[in-house]
Amino acid sequence: MNEREEKRRIQQALNRTLSGLQENPFLAQRIIAHGKGKTRMKKKLSLGLIAALIILATTTTALAATLLPSGILRSLFKTEENAPQDMVNLLNQQSQTRQSSAAALTLDEYLFDGGSLHLGLTLKNPTDNQTVYLIGQIKLNGRLLRLQEYDEAIDTLNGLCLGGQAEGRALPTEVSLYARADQLLPDEAPFSTPPPAMDRALSLPQQQPLTPMDGAVLTVRVDAYRPVAEPILCDRAYKIDAKAVYETGKLPVRLDGHADLFDILTRNDKAANALLTDSADLWAAAQEVYAAAGWLQYLETDEFSFTIDLKETALPQVAAASASYQVNGCTLTLNELKIAHSGGSLRGEMRCLLPDGAGLEDLSRYVNFQVMTEEAALAHMNEQNPLAWNYTGALAGSAGVSTVSEEGGVLQVEITQELRPVAKLPAAVYLVWMDDAGLWDWQTAIRVELQ
């Protein structure tokens, strides 16, 4: 048998054997990363051995698809299977772990999409003692990152209670966390994102967009505390009666380990609220108020550092042409509307001739609208019994409105919206307002084509 015939028979065998397998870019990425720096093999391999290695690697790939979960991709697209390939290619899953005597923090994965840095972290209690952790001040090369999306325990002076029990129920010893940052804050910023009732960080000037860089140092601050008060389970009970929870004198925790410390304390202790609001060092203030409440005893502060690379990337995107539209007696001018798999943005302005008797308090009625993909919008339109305040399929994650001018009853405002990630780039979106009943008003909705 000649060499050509042998190759043909091996290829046919491979095609039959591997026809049902799917590729896994996660494994490929890890294999490539692992191979960097290794000496290349110079020994010539036989054709049969090459075929065997291909079968082994591809079979392992099929198995590994269920062994490499991604909290980042699940946060962005609900499941890994929904994630578009260009986002999967950007994911770095080479985990790094740092540990102290009181805490262990792992950077499980990260993803830089060209504008935002996505982080997947796991915080673990390595001790036998129940410990409460406050997490925050996430920095890149010494500058605070502005967090746009984040776990509720990050940078809010709430916390995580890990290990031990609460009312006879075991609490987790580790928790996975997700955060997304899009800008660097100036040096005087106290928080990556402010706790409730603190909006100082978001209004600070001189924010700097993230740019590609190699060998950047990511630092996460973790403060560890020992519980003094007995933990009490209050799964969101504070939203019903925060005062009753506070008056128990016990440490409020949830079964998933989250502790709503800041939320409950500041609603019921005016002195603690004032101290936290006015303090130049919020972390030192937290140590004081939580000790005064009889909840926590401060143990130590750790700053865990990781080295990451922010690679230059250009994701495919769709965008709308600049245009003006008439709606609800207003003129909406879209200066920018672009969407990529990683998310998007809308920039524009609106001029409204306010009705007699209307003022700035009526502003939201005119300028607050939602962005929906055409697919989601059509699904809402076809609902038999629409529900009030149903935001399923809505893309706008955060919005900002700043008054530019008001003269002669004409109000001009600038509008910005940050749009959520999408698994499939839409051919069109709808801009839709809500009516007084909280239902989408499709009669005034605007369809915008994207290219």
Q: Where are the domains of the chain?
A: 3-27+40-64, 86-310, 317-449
Contacts 24+ apart (CB under 8 A), 163-169: 163/125, 163/127, 163/128, 163/129, 163/130, 163/131, 164/129, 164/130, 164/227, 164/231, 165/130, 165/231, 166/231, 166/232, 166/233, 166/253, 166/255, 167/231, 167/232, 167/233, 169/233, 169/255
SS (H, E, C) 52-74: HHHHHHHHHHHHHCCCCCCHHHH
Helices and strands counted in the chain (H then E): 11, 25
Whole-angstrom distance between the N-terminal and C-terminal Cα of the chain?
A: 55
Asked whether 96 and 104 are in contact (CB, 8 A), the reply is no
Q: How many CA atoms lie within 13 A of 416 on its CB side?
A: 6
Rounded to an integer, what distance in angstroms lies between the CA atom of residue 321 and that of residue 53?
51
Rounded to an integer, what distance in angstroms lies between the CA atom of residue 355 and that of residue 340?
38
Handedness of CA 161, 167, 172, 176 (dihedral sign): negative
Rounded to an integer, what distance in angstroms lies between the CA atom of residue 113 and that of residue 439?
34
Q: Where are the beta strands (DSSP E) in 141-230?
A: 143-150, 159-162, 165-166, 169-170, 174-184, 208-209, 213-227
Identify the three-state secondary structure at position 158: coil
Locate 301 and state its tokens.
């502060």
Would you tell me how many other CB atoms lie within 10 Å of the CB of residue 283?
Answer: 17
Q: Tell me phi and psi for residue 279, to 5 degrees.
A: -70, 140
pLDDT tens for the 451 residues of the chain, in order: 544 444 444 444 444 433 333 444 443 344 334 443 433 334 455 555 555 555 555 544 443 444 368 999 999 998 999 999 999 999 999 999 999 999 999 999 999 999 999 999 999 999 999 999 999 889 999 999 988 888 888 888 889 999 999 999 999 999 999 999 989 987 655 555 544 333 333 444 467 899 999 999 999 999 999 999 989 988 654 455 778 888 888 899 999 999 988 888 888 888 888 888 888 788 899 999 999 999 999 999 999 999 999 999 989 999 999 999 998 888 999 999 999 999 999 999 988 887 776 666 666 667 788 999 999 999 999 998 888 888 888 998 655 666 667 777 788 888 888 899 999 999 999 999 988 888 999 999 999 999 9
Greatest alpha-carbon span in the chain: 94
β partners of residue 121: 107, 177
Locate 178 and state its tokens.
């997700």
pLDDT the model gives residue 50 = 55
Nearest to 119 by CA among 172, 205, 192: 192
Quickly tell me which residue has 């989601």 as its tokens: 376
pLDDT the model gives residue 53 = 53
- Which of the listed CATH numbers 3.30.43, 1.10.357, 2.60.40, 2.60.120 matches domain 317-449? 2.60.40
Quickly tell me which residue has 């994911």 as its tokens: 91
Nearest to 75 by CA among 108, 118, 26: 118
Locate 117 and state its tokens.
């840095």
Nearest to 234 by CA among 220, 245, 223, 224: 245
Nearest to 418 by CA among 351, 350, 363, 337: 337
Write the CB contacts of 136 (distance below 8 Å, at least 6 apart in sequence). Answer: 154, 155, 156, 157, 191, 192, 221, 283
Nearest to 274 by CA among 263, 284, 285: 285
